[in-house]
Amino acid sequence: MITAFVFIQTDTAQIPEVAEKISAIPGISEVYSVTGEWDLIAIARVREHEQLADVVADRLSKVDGVRETTTHIAFRAYSRHDLEAAFSLGLS
């Protein structure tokens, strides 16, 4: 599974509408409105890199109101759940 974080700048008058449109794109699992330089962050989860190109370049970036995007592909996940499992001795 490939996970990517897409940072999105939008027309500020359309943030909720843009977020709703992006969240409906297959391959987008979550969309957050955030503070700072970017307006939204979307999380894409796909099986192959070609699918990521379809989701981000061919669909998300063409949503009306999207001004700019930058995409960061995740190498590894370090969630608390994963770390607890890795260090667990299996004792009850």
pLDDT of 71-84, one tens digit each? 999 998 887 665 55
Tens-digit pLDDT profile for residues 49-64 = 999 999 999 999 999 9
Q: Which fold has domain 2-87?
A: Alpha-Beta Plaits (3.30.70)
Distance between terminal CA atoms of the chain?
31
- pTM of the shown model: 0.83
Burial 3-34 (b: 16+ CB within 10 A, else e): bbebbbbbeeebeeebbebbeebebbeebeee
Pairing of strands 28-33, 2-10: unpaired
| Helix residue ranges per DSSP H, the chain | 15-23, 49-53, 80-87
